[in-house]
Structure 1
């Protein structure tokens, strides 16, 4: 049985709250989206932080329910106190990042993240510009050198600017594809050169063709 995944709105500053439930063990492909997550497995009490991914991860689930709090791109350092690149492509116990945290319920997880998250408009603007702009031009527009922009992106998002650009563009494409938009239109609206470019990037970041990735 595939995991039954559900999202609901989160407090200000967080991306969403989610659950994934299975009645028997299952494996799910998790694709990069620029976000990070704090996850809790009630059956074991495990609290794990999922860092920003650069490629698809295969995650084992269940049986039972996995609870998650998703942070938007750029929010990780304010909640966990370390640069996002320190946990890139990793799953790390919360106790290694915040030893003082004592979380035993989903609501305590939400409160923990909501009370610590800082929304930085400058980071949101940087991400928005990088979705479609040239990296050098973006650095110029926001008054940073290329090296400063790289350092800012690594600390806040976990990626260098060009990788962040690829991940954000891929996430935009996935959202359009899941909504039923034709792939040729997805390529245009998400900022790819053409549909072949979209296909190459999806395979590189997700490990599967787009049609297979969004198949129910």
Structure 2
């Protein structure tokens, strides 16, 4: 899978399919054996709200591996620092015209990946805010969507629901810091579920 650019960055999970095209076929003794986890993911929500700095007016709660921000404008940033190359995965849901984002390199010039499902926006969901706009919008309010962020020095790539929507090679150092989750629209709600991060020792090619 790693040799295929389309599959290399997709989730390593899904359904098992059996196909038959117009002929008789038999399948038997189908078994699945789990292999040891070699990916070494770091869960970002496991320490609870105590693991975050939460400046601003937003109210933040963590329950069932889901970070919920509501109320005013604010941000929840991990106290733990990270440096690329890495992949960040998180499921996001915006409610009531929610507007937020996921930030990295928060130790220097923070980079925001926008979460705002407005096709006519200058920076819709998946955009690297102020750097490169998403080429298309693949997400909707009230529905969970998968955000994948790959970063390696000046390079970054964003996937929404498994599809590449944005890339850049223009990020500025320093390339380290906490991971931030933003709630921006007063009165709206935004949720971040299953946020996790893993290192890519060899970087990523794009």
**Structure ranking higher in helix proportion:** 1
* Structure having greater relative contact order (Cα 8 Å, sep ≥ 6): 2
> What TM-score do the two structures reach when normalised by structure 1?
0.27
Q: Which TM-score applies when normalising by structure 2?
A: 0.28
More strand by share: 2
